[in-house]
Structure formats: structure tokens, C-alpha cells
Amino acid sequence: MGKRYGYGPRVEIPKAKAVDLRRKVMQLTKRNSVMVSLGTKLRELNPILRGWANYYRYCAYAG
């Protein structure tokens, strides 16, 4: 039997998905996007990060 995490089996975030998220965030926060205000950048990033957090909230190392 595999390792357990809490009451259910231990579920980890796939490495490819984590890499995709990092790539997407880096693309949205490039240094060449100086003409975009911080508020606009945050409005673009918040739904992505919130969706990621909700989908993977019960995974190990989700923080």
C-alpha cells in the first residue's frame, strides 16, 4: 500500500502542470510589459492562481 496523506491517498501535483503554471506566470509578468499597470497584471493573474489553488488544494506540497 502506498503512503497516505491524511485520510486519503497521497496525491501530488504533476510536474508538467507545475512547469506550465510557472511558464504562464512568467509570461504574464515579463519585464517588457512595463506599459501595463500593476492592477491590470493582477487582474490577469488572480483567476489563474485562484483556479490552480482550488483545483490542487488537497494535494501534497500544494503550498
pLDDT digits (tens, 9 = 90+) for 11-50: 788 889 889 989 998 888 887 766 778 888 889 899 999 9
Query: What is the distance, to the nearest Å, from the Cα of residue 40 to the centroid of all Cα atoms in its chain?
Result: 19
pLDDT at residue 4 greater than cutoff 90:
no
pLDDT at residue 59 greater than cutoff 70:
yes
Query: Helix, strand, coil % (nearest 5) of the chain?
Result: 50, 10, 40
Question: Which carries the bigger pLDDT value, residue 30 or residue 7?
Answer: 30
CB atoms within 10 A of CB 30: 10
Global pTM reads: 0.63
